[in-house]
Structure 1
């Protein structure tokens, strides 16, 4: 049923003549009286030709079309009559009267070619699928479920229905990832305690234009402790259009043409050559050679073409007799098909007789071929073994070369670092921690043994006493509390090459709480952590004893932590859903009571601030995903 105006007019068209027509005439006035009268007469005339057919039953709701069509297509009163005599008088008058009553339609833009083609071909369709993983959602972990779509459509709409049981809705972040890796946030820690069920529908538009084909992944992250749940089920409805088939590639690929005009002399019993360079890396599928020679006896000549690989093919072999003074011909040798087109092609003209000479005026070479597939990327270097501090990569490409004194790689028993001689502190320190590193050993102390005497000869070696009276803590990169399994391991964290000047409110406030949070994950959830910490910027220097220590005081400190369940083959187990923590804090007083999570950033943010690159030993798609995580 359409708007009231449309319904009244439609009713008027199908009602038998009588009181209603007179009522309409009384309402619309004399200008339409003649038209209504003609409509009545036309009905009588039309009905005299054939009896009216029985009215059809009203369509069911599922069959009902929109109430107000954009164009009017009148239906004949009598199908038999229309079949015999065409569109009848009553039809034409009814259409005229309808256009007077109907409100003018707003102008609409012409459909785009893509829309028109889709409508014409009827290729818009919706694909639905569902999954019921009943997967556990645990504190501070990520739960995923995948639906595979086999239909290859260009997405125009997405609907996701999610059903989760969880005792605290605001713990959850829910995302949808497309087959090509695009992630879209569906729900971000909403709903407070909730009702125990987190059910919602989302219609993200961010996937419009991507292919539907492949694995779609629902990602559920639990960002807080104390409440757990279950990903019961979810469904996915993808609407899209089937892409138009790509045209077949042109036979033979593309053609490259080059010309040379050597005007080189051709002498008796000598060989004349000319070269054309092809710079395109093609696999040859066809060759055309056009040659223009001036010579007084054509049969003296043998003409050949040599490929960049040295293959020679004869194009002309002492043909033509005396000729007319010009030897011009075209050759299409197939012998070069499949060879590399790139390089120097050589035309060779041999004069096999005496008494006649000539000139190689010009020649052209057209090579048709397909672009070669680029060679595979060289294999990544063999990564270090599991639990190595640099398993995931060396973010600044530090090397143990004293010529790179401000990015000098040092390897110690408990950590690996990039040391900066000019700043007298590390650029970064990396380490690995699991439950085997955590025990009951007490905290050690800074003393004369804290000086790192393994630094190169001639370098100023910072001592613990250089920090005395500076107002800054001797801030550990690798925390002492991360190495409590033995006295020796704990002492290894007190080397001054593991230390930076850290503001007390930073070091003893949010920074310490963040370190404790990571250790809790390792202890309570049997995780292992790959951590790298560093600093950037400068707000001053600590002169140290004797005034020559010159230790740079950083403006900010940062940390990147990758947490995975404890196990083996760590590189293979790290994927785009792996938990990552990244923080970037100001190194100043006044933040002791701040929440460390307020300083969470993405790994990419730290990369931009430090000009470093993380996760380089991971596959590119995993690198890209983890760089956007950390918040």
Structure 2
């Protein structure tokens, strides 16, 4: 009898333990404040008696994870993992609708009405076209937690859309592509301050001023970013299918990818129309500088090694220089001004100073130049660039710059059109 009761007791204990583990594994996750990926216990500090202040929320969807900033009513960052299969499924954009995220307190959420009549597009951070593996995954990209106000013509519907396509095509060179996308608010620097009147930072340059639009109705206004960024990691170690002509790489970079080197690149673009002829490499930025202005550490598990960061910044300097040199002088000045808070990196290479003394004739050329349509850009575009140059990332660190893979060559402005078509009146968004 004793053995019987003992057996019964053990069975109850095992069953209760199993039930506890099952419930623990299936219950909905509780809200947590996270610092460098580690949630802290609110009972550990006496100051947390009534809870820690909430300034953002992190939400997880099928295709992406997003951190939402209560103050700006914008996503702070959106992290997605894309593959060839996830971006080439049968899901359709037709019939999908934008919706307020149910996990965001309505007091801090952007609203659909904020965008109506604002003059700005509802711009995806994680593009819908990256998540075609299921209709649910695509539909979820229309949550407002993934949306930020973007300039439409010339940016969201044009250059930024081509950039999204460029990132998507990296899945032909590497099995897995990880992307962090987000908004930025970068200041501009005035040049009126005299040398003997330094501002508080001790610099003799002009004052830094941040000016940007807001949309919606107070007090719940939505901040319009001045810039947007992407940090891209192309990881070939999952057995991708390299060799697609759209991402043709140099033999040296192909060799590094084949050996398991991970390609990384950081890019920042102003939230404004960008000339379709501008090379993508002109918008390459050093990772360290981007992290400082974004207030975010990107891919820390991959990029914690300072040697990797130094190697990537060296490559970024080379690619940025090459991109700037493909621009006309007044275009170089425009890009330099747009990214003034993110100066070109100088570690390991010498960056030629971009001449800011533009002649009156060059400025006049810019002012008097007529608006150029995408179709005319196609007919008058510059000659195709030469074969990809050798990689600019110093070897031996296990990483290379993403531009080393395909010289950061963007898709043509008409990439969205069927082969042989010339009608560009109805541009589908990514």
TM-score (norm 1): 0.33
Bigger relative CO (Cα 8 Å, ≥ 6 apart): 2
Between structure 1 and structure 2, the one with the greater Rg is 1
More helix by share: 2
TM-score (norm 2): 0.47
More strand by share: 1
